[in-house]
Amino acid sequence: MATRTCSMTAEVLEQLRHLRAVVAESADEVGVGVIAAGVPPTVPDDFPVTDTDRYRQIGRHFGMLAHEQGICGCHVHVGVPDRDIAVAVSNHLRHRLPTLLALSANSAVYRDADTGHASWRSVLWSRWPAAGPPPHLRSREHFEHLVSMFVSSGAILDDHMVYWDIRPSDHLPTIEIRVGDVQARADEAVAIAGLVRALVVTATSDIAAGVVAPVVETEVLTAALWKAAHDGIDGAGIDVLRVVSSPASQLASELVSDVADALDELGDRAMIDTYIETLTRSGNGATRQRALLADGACGRDIVVAHAADFAV
């Protein structure tokens, strides 16, 4: 599902609740439970490839990669003036990706088992040839050259298969941040969207002021993303700027502090403060999934327990 273009986070919440209610009602009509999770906690029969020409071609070309992609992510688009700015914003936000992943982790249970990772979706997704963190891009031309190389070599079939965690959209005037799992609750999704928008607003202001984006080694960033996928918000993360271990919750607090001015400007500060307070007290979707599993629940029980939160 996708919302229309919104200018206020309250609009996003209203639309998501409506869309999720429609899905929940439709699911109820056919007697199934529906939740929002990065991967299904139950044991699926199979993951049929979407029946369109493009997806059938992807299925033929990529084989099991395509047939094992029963996953759901949370993609946030934020409008930017042009592709040059989008590329610059990508550079400014690369180091934020692990913290956003830790905050949004919601796929700890898969096939009735604890995967050992808070975000198993991100581990599955990372297998694609143009997935994971983007490189530090020298310019829009550098970005377009890389995309052209991916396509001409056959590593991907088209521009839309640039599956980086941040990318300039190939069809909208936006920068797209797509590192997170789909969120269990609508209000959690909106909080992630609010944080992402504040990050983009802060980055564009820094770019206008001539602030240089930090250059983070891809190896460090990849390790930090794996750690965020593994530990989620409840464990340790990697501070990629200082290259040291740090509690994921502390990294999240630092992120919020760094975008405080943008949150105030956008009117989202109270919402984000409440979100972080709740997260600190109760954890996120992955935390709740693991708590149920530890109490003896199976994947089906998790679906039943989380179905009530779907449209909240």
CATH number, residue 41: 3.30.590.20
Query: Does 22 fall in a domain?
Result: no
Q: Which pLDDT does position 68 carry in this prediction?
A: 87
- The verdict on residue 24 lying in a domain is no
Residue 296 forms part of a structural domain: yes
Neighbours of 312 (CB within 10 A): 11
CA distance 175 to 298: 38
pTM higher than 0.95: yes
Assess whether pLDDT exceeds 80 at residue 45.
no
Closest among 306, 218, 228 to 41, alpha carbons compared = 306
Q: Answer yes or no: is 115 within a domain.
A: yes
Domain that holds residue 101: 35-306
Total tally of structural domains belonging to the chain: 1
Nearest to 136 by CA among 23, 200, 216, 55: 216
Is 6 among the domain residues?
no
Does the residue 311 lie in any domain? Answer: no
How far apart, in whole angstroms, are the C-alpha atoms of residue 38 and residue 35? 10
74-130 pLDDT, tens digit per residue, is 999 999 999 999 999 999 999 999 999 999 999 999 999 999 999 999 999 999 999
263-301 in b/e form (b: 16+ CB < 10 A) is beebebbebbeebbeebeeebbbbbbbbebbeeebbbeb
pLDDT of residue 44: 79
Residue 14 lies in a domain: no
Is residue 276 one of the residues assigned to a domain?
A: yes
